[in-house]
A and B are shown apart, each in its own frame.
Chain A
């Protein structure tokens, strides 16, 4: 059973995205195929050079960079959302790849789950 976890919330404003990331890591820990898709304001999770110290939070950049090591198969960014937020491929962490978010993508997974 392959799962796509979709994060459409920006980082730091709520815990929904972090808890969605925990879901992805849990699936990977149990050897279940899982990928993450960031869309809408969620693409900002993948921005390079984040500094969350001034809001007393840990940068999510480091968590995401570790995702492939923990077995998350792909970190996908919705191309339309990247355009909207002025993010080129070179602005994203190196583990991310830009894709089209549509039925062709979601159809490749048995489960698609949204964060919050």
Chain B
């Protein structure tokens, strides 16, 4: 029989509030779509989501320049509408975003770039937003690209 005596007997945080961290990009990973299904299930079970944090390749989800064929799901648009409807903050990490060419008006001016492409209601902010969730009572759930 498996010895489970060393396993923790309780979760590190109460299950009422979740933070979602998405690091997998849309269309090259399943991460954003899986995260969306998870987010809808969280709300359906009367739990809360305090923020959705996009990190690494996950920042591509916040682009307003995605234009998939009309018979395919537009993940960026679907996520943006979900966040707006549910009044959940969506935050893209600034370092990840700048590396990958995702900028808002302020960063466009700061770096003298020819365009801005951040989709509303997403915002650009630092890793401090993620630290804030990690240090709080929220349960932080990660959605990676997988292997």
Indicate, yes or no, whether A interacts with B: yes
The answer to whether B96 and A19 have CB atoms under 8 Å apart is yes
- Mostly, the B contact residues are loop
The answer to whether B7 and A103 have CB atoms under 8 Å apart is yes
Known contacts A15-B56, A16-B56, A110-B12, A22 near B95 by CB under 8 Å: yes
CB neighbours of A3 from chain B (8 A): 134
Pick the residue among B12, B95, B128 that contacts A111 (CB under 8 A).
B12
How many residues of B are in contact with the other chain, CB < 8 A? 24
| CB within 8 Å of B: which A16-45 residues | 16, 19, 22-23, 26-27, 30, 32
A23–B57 CA distance with the chains assembled, in angstroms:
15
Pick the residue among A1, A110, A116 that contacts B145 (CB under 8 A).
A116
The answer to whether B23 and A116 have CB atoms under 8 Å apart is yes
CB neighbours of B128 from chain A (8 A): 26, 30
Nearest A residue to B139 via CB reads A111
B14 touches A (CB below 8 Å) = no
CB neighbours of B55 from chain A (8 A): 19, 23
User: Please, could you name 27 A-B residue pairs with CB atoms under 8 Å apart, sorted by A?
Assistant: A1-B12, A3-B134, A15-B99, A16-B23, A16-B56, A19-B56, A23-B55, A23-B127, A23-B130, A26-B128, A26-B130, A26-B131, A27-B131, A30-B128, A32-B131, A32-B135, A103-B7, A104-B6, A107-B6, A110-B12, A110-B13, A111-B12, A111-B134, A114-B142, A116-B56, A116-B144, A116-B145
Which residues of A line the B interface, CB within 8 A?
Answer: 1, 3, 15-16, 19, 22-23, 26-27, 30, 32, 103-104, 107, 110-111, 113-114, 116
Which residues of B line the A interface, CB within 8 A?
Answer: 6-8, 12-13, 23-24, 55-57, 95-96, 99, 126-128, 130-131, 134-135, 140, 142, 144-145
